[in-house]
């Protein structure tokens, strides 16, 4: 018999708001070493505004080297716009102060079948060429004594996506974070994405896509469960 499933597809895909400044700053120390995003020890010495100012200066130099006229009113604000986009949007997942505060709730309904949230919008950035990765993530878990607020699944995906990434690492980071948060290994993550480094440069292939998956616990052991997960997300 196929396991029952609750399909949960919320619209709350926004990156979480900044946490209070006095919140303890976590990091990726709970992840296996090979899954930690490569960061220098002094990665958070500068404030966000200091980073924006420094990146804007450097990006202005890039634009000048390209021969662009920064006195033009369409271009003169671009260095700071790009810097703010990098620090406050594209790469905010580098700063652990934005790590989502995931709250668990008692599973008082005693729901122990597969819970799936599919089609989570995913925006990331290729760390090799710094161009976008655009796709969707699908996650599932088998609840135990606790369940998680639905939007928190989206927030975990967005937190790890908003970094320079490779898709394989991103898939496993999300899975490991969910295992750690939910206190269960019964987690599945599948990401399907388009990479602009493939589409807009190099081979210029606009028809191919990349799928990666990570299965833990029962999803790894039970082919029937894994097949049902894939069926529910349309794969």
List the catalytic residue out of 99, 167, 173, 192: 167
Which letter does DSSP use for residue 20 in this model? P
List the catalytic residue out of 48, 88, 112, 127: 127
Annotated ligand binding at 30? The verdict is no
Distance of CA 54 to the CA centre of its chain: 25
Annotated ligand binding at 126? The verdict is yes
List the catalytic residue out of 61, 128, 168, 183: 128
List the catalytic residue out of 126, 138, 214, 228: 126
Decide if 128 is catalytic.
Answer: yes
How many Å is the maximal CA-CA distance in the chain? 68
Decide if 183 is catalytic.
Answer: no
List the catalytic residue out of 138, 165, 173, 195: 195
Decide if 99 is catalytic.
Answer: no
Task: Give, in order, the Cα–Cα distances in Å from 15 to each of 31, 88, 161, 186, 212.
Answer: 21, 10, 10, 25, 22
Q: Which of 157, 230, 167 is nearest to 194 (CA)?
A: 167
Decide if 126 is catalytic.
Answer: yes
Decide if 167 is catalytic.
Answer: yes
Question: What does the alpha-carbon distance between residue 10 and residue 81 come to, in Å, rounded to a whole number?
Answer: 30
The DSSP result for 67-120, as a single string, is T--TTSTTTTTHHHHHHHHIIIIITGGGSGGGS--PPEEE-TT---SEEEEEEE
Residues near 230 by Cβ (< 8 Å), separated by ≥ 6? 190
Decide if 197 is catalytic.
Answer: yes
Identify the helix (H) or strand (E) that includes residue 218: helix 218-221
Q: Which segments are annotated as binding site for Zn(2+)?
A: 126, 129, 197
Q: Which segments are annotated as binding site?
A: 126, 129, 197
Residues serving a catalytic function are 126-129, 167, 195, 197
């Amino acid at each position: 018999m196929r396991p029952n499933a609750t399909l949960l597809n919320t619209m709350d895909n926004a990156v979480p708001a900044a946490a209070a400044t006095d919140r303890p700053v976590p990091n990726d120390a709970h992840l296996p070493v090979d899954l930690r995003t490569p960061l220098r020890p002094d990665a958070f010495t500068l404030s966000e505004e200091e980073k924006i100012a420094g990146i804007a200066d450097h990006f202005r130099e890039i634009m000048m080297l390209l021969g662009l006229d920064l006195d033009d009113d369409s271009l003169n604000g671009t260095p700071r716009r790009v810097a703010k986009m990098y620090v406050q949007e594209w790469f905010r997942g580098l700063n652990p102060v934005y790590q989502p505060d995931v709250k668990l709730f008692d599973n008082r309904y005693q729901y122990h079948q597969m819970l799936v949230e599919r089609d989570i919008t995913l925006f990331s950035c290729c760390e090799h060429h710094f161009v976008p990765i655009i796709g969707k993530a699908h996650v599932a878990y088998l609840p135990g004594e606790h369940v998680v607020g639905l939007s928190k699944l989206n927030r975990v995906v967005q937190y790890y996506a908003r970094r320079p990434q490779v898709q394989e690492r991103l898939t496993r980071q999300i899975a490991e974070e969910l295992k750690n948060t939910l206190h269960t290994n019964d987690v599945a993550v599948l990401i399907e994405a388009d990479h602009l480094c493939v589409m807009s440069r190099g081979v210029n292939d606009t028809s191919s896509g990349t799928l990666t998956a990570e299965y833990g616990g029962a999803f790894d052991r039970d082919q029937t469960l894994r097949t049902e997960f894939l069926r529910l997300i349309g794969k």
